């Protein structure tokens, strides 16, 4: 059997015996957003290097990898995709399918259809694209399902010991189950309050906890323009919203401007961008506490 064929059948994996070897010998796992990075790290521990190649400040949905980035991604032992239309660059890059895992493949019946974009090419006929909300990991129950898919892929490719993975997955699931329960309690009855988000990121979170979240299309962490603030004021007046969720901390003047519109500001990192968010449970837990305080 040729080397290439072996690599193919092994899904490019290094055997579990690689666990505990030198860092440079460890299998490499590429992820397409920070949530998957945090999940993979929680599961795999020291058995593999988890790499989120998107630079800080770049939206991972619209990142364009360089040829050297693509080369690194192609050489990885496992490539974890989010699915649900997240990271459109994967449609324009050549990836080794045998080493690619779509972590939401089993969740398609739970996807949220957001919009239908109609356009045409040149003189061609108009056609439509269905949009999907892609930040499904903000629903902890879906995040657990994604973690299950990651664990299965790690076992299949022999990247980590099955027993270690089972222990790590049980712990991660328990943490997220507890977080889910705490969030449900903290946000109980919050469905009566209208919330505005600076970007459409929280569809799955809102569905899970019965929240009403309307969305703007602001750049993450940027100072909104006067026109954007006018739009926010109009939306707040229309909906009676009292809370504004930011996906990244904006300049202090932005907070002051929105507070002037009668909105309580909450920063809720959706764990997509490359940042120092800590663990999944810590990051989402903090945001839920802040949101609960703002709603109260």
The span of 88-96, 142-150, 227-235, 261-269 binding other proteins (CB under 8 A) equals 88-96
Among 121, 192, 227, 276, binds other proteins (CB under 8 A): 121
Contact by Cβ (8 Å): 91, 64: no
Among 71, 239, 275, 293, binds other proteins (CB under 8 A): 71
Site for other proteins in 94-113 (CB under 8 A): 94-98
By beta-carbon proximity to other proteins, the closer residue of 91 and 217 is: 91
CA dihedral 20, 23, 25, 29 (to 10 degrees): 100
C-beta of 70: minimal distance to other proteins in Å? 4
Show Cβ contacts of residue 122 under 8 Å, excluding neighbours closer than 6 positions.
Answer: none
CA-based radius of gyration for the chain: 21
C-beta of 102: minimal distance to other proteins in Å? 10
The candidate with the shortest Cα–Cα distance to 182, out of 174, 170, 191, is: 174
Among 127, 162, 178, 259, binds other proteins (CB under 8 A): 127
What is the rounded CA–CA span in Å between residue 247 and residue 95?
Answer: 30
By beta-carbon proximity to other proteins, the closer residue of 3 and 23 is: 3
Find the DSSP H helices in 123-202.
140-156, 162-186
74 binds other proteins (CB under 8 A): yes
Q: CA 23 from chain center: how many Å?
A: 26
64 binds other proteins (CB under 8 A): yes
Residue with tokens 């980035």: 69
Interface residues toward other proteins, by CB under 8 A: 2-5, 7-9, 62, 64, 67, 70-71, 74, 88, 91-98, 121-124, 127, 129, 156
């Amino acid at each position: 059997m040729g080397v290439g064929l072996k690599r193919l059948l092994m899904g490019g994996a290094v055997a579990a015996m690689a666990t505990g070897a030198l860092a440079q010998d460890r299998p490499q796992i590429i992820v397409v957003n920070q949530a998957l990075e945090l999940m993979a790290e929680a599961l795999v521990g020291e058995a593999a290097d988890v790499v989120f190649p998107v630079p800080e400040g770049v939206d991972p949905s619209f990142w364009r990898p360089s040829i050297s980035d693509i080369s690194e991604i192609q050489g990885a032992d496992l490539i974890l995709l989010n699915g649900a239309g997240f990271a459109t660059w994967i449609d324009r890059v050549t990836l080794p399918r045998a080493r690619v895992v779509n972590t939401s493949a089993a969740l398609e019946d739970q996807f949220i259809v957001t919009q239908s974009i109609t356009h045409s090419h040149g003189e061609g006929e108009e056609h439509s694209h269905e949009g999907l909300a892609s930040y499904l990991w903000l629903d902890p129950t879906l995040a657990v399902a994604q973690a299950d898919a990651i664990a299965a892929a790690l076992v299949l490719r022999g990247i980590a010991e099955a027993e270690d993975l089972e222990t790590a997955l049980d712990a991660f699931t328990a943490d997220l189950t507890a977080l889910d329960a705490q969030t449900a309690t903290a946000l109980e009855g919050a469905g009566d309050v209208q919330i505005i988000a600076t970007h459409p990121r929280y569809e799955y979170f809102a569905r899970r906890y019965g929240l009403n979240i309307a969305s703007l299309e602001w750049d993450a962490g940027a100072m909104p323009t006067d026109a954007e603030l006018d739009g926010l004021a109009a939306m707040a007046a229309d909906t009676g919203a009292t809370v504004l969720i930011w996906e990244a901390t904006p300049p202090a003047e932005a907070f002051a401007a929105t507070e002037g519109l009668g909105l309580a500001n909450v920063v809720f990192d959706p764990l997509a961008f490359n940042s120092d968010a800590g663990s999944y449970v810590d990051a989402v837990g903090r945001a839920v506490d802040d949101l609960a305080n703002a709603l109260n």
